Structure 1
Amino acid sequence: MNRAVIAMIVALIAALYLTILNVRHPLIGMDVVENKNGDIIVNDIYEFGWAKKHGIHINDQVLKVDGKPPLSHFTVREYKTIEQAKTITIQRENQIQTLKVDYQSHGTEQWLYYIALPAGFFLFAISLSIFLLRLRPNDKSATVLIYFL
């Protein structure tokens, strides 16, 4: 088995893993920062994320993620964003709300931008790679193009 075929197999495994991850966990789309008091505050909402569709606003305070303090959640600690959570408790002014992240309703935009378009590009790249392998099996420039795709 030549290296180009191995590269395509590795790319297929990575694409399947990322697709499963995107299907199982919707994009919550909420960046957070820690203020001077140690509170976790929402500082950005993604356009096609779950948070925007469910009424979370910039400057809302995040009290809990999955029933624990926000800094104990790995995505808050590592990436300053809230992702892969089941429940989020926020406070806006004097109102406290606990929202359950619904993994079933992703939204049309999320499916399009994070699953359909990447899957379409991946299928195009695999088709072009197979075409190049059949047309010029030992051509180094075709192999480099396959690696690039």
Structure 2
Amino acid sequence: MHFIIGGAFNGKRAWVKNTYNVYENKQWVSAYDNHPLPKNLIEFAHDVVILEGVEIWLKQLSATIVADKCREIWSNYLENWLTWEQAGFDRKLVVIGTDISKGIVPMEAEKRRWRDVTGWAYQDITAKSEKVDVIWYGLNQKIK
């Protein structure tokens, strides 16, 4: 798994498109295009699956579920995705998330819960990823 993180509108999508342009057989799933969060990736007949907008899916998840349960559900998603990736020699999962941890902590409990859940999810993604890149202003910095 390759995790891409960075600020909003900092060039993550363009960087991923440029980096993974050699793969013709890829599936792009985006929360920004209102795609639902895939529980597993078996339904995709592609070598590369790109999941974009993780923070949006986590916002939807945390809107109705307590934080600890969100993290448990997210962990199950990650395990399913990694199982899919490891089941094929050429399979690659790319996960793109926007960093929402900067700035002032929100006053509203539901926004704080979203921020907390997203932070935990990003830690879990980072721990399980082979590679992690931070994208700022179109430039990447490899951190793992």
TM range (shorter): under 0.3
Which gives a bigger RCO, structure 1 or 2 (Cα 8 Å, sep 6+)?
A: 2
Q: Which one has the largest radius of gyration?
A: 1
Higher helix share: 1
**Normalising to structure 1: TM-score of the pair?**
0.22
**Normalising to structure 2: TM-score of the pair?**
0.22
